[in-house]
Amino acid sequence: MALKAVIFDMDGVLVDSEGFWAKAELEVFSSYGVQITDDLAAQTKSMTTKQVTEFWYGRFPWENLDVPTLEQEVVSRVIELIQSEDCTMSGIQEFIKDLKSKEYKIGLATNAPLRVADAVLEKLQVRDYFDTVHSSEFEEQGKPHPAVYLTSAQQLGISPEYCIAIEDSHSGLKAAKAAGMKTIVFTNNDESINFEHADYKILNFESAQLPVF
C-alpha cells in the first residue's frame, strides 16, 4: 500500500501558535467579564472558535451575545500574532518542499478558521505547495470528528487509506484515525510524548523521514 498524500494539522505543527489562541482568548473574552483560568482554558484547546465562544458564554454569560463578531475578534488577534511573532516550526518549509518534489499530494486540515490558515501559509511562503486547504468551520463538527480529514482526502482525490496525517494532539490524531488514515504525532523534540492514536512519531522536521508502508 503506497502512501500518496500527506495532510498536515496547522497549530502546533506548521507553526507554534497554540499560545496565541490562549492569549487572544484572554484579551477578547476578559473584556466581556469572563474570568479565564488555566483549567478552563485547557478545555478549549481542541475546540473550534465558535465552540470556544459558546463555552465561555455558557460559564460567564454577558449581554448581547454576538458569536460571529466575537469569533472574528479572536481570529484577527491570532492573525496579528502569527504575522508579528517568530512562530515557524524549524525545518517545516524544507520538509514540505521535499514532499512535493517526491510528488506527494499535500493538504492542510485544521480546526482553525480558513483566514488563519491563509495567514500561516502566507507567512511560511508555502501556499503553492498545498493541493487543498480545509477548515472545520465548513463542517458541522470539528476534530476529533473525522469530517475535516474525510473532506480533505476527497478534495485531494485520494482514498483515506493512502493518506497520512501529521498531528500534535489527541483530538487531531483521533480524527485522522477515524477517517481511516495513518497518523504521525509531531512532538517538537519532546521524546516523552507517545500518543495511542499515533502510528509513527516525528521529533522535528530537520531530520524527519516519512515512514514506508
Residues marked as catalytic: 9, 11
* Contacts of residue 136, Cβ cutoff 8 Å, sequence gap at least 6: 48, 110, 111, 142, 143, 147, 148
Which grid cell sits at 120? 500561516
In Å, how far are 49, 58, 73, 86, 110 from 141, measured between CA atoms? Answer: 12, 19, 21, 31, 12
The residue type at 185: V
- For residues 133 and 26, what is the distance between their CA atoms, to the nearest angstrom? 28
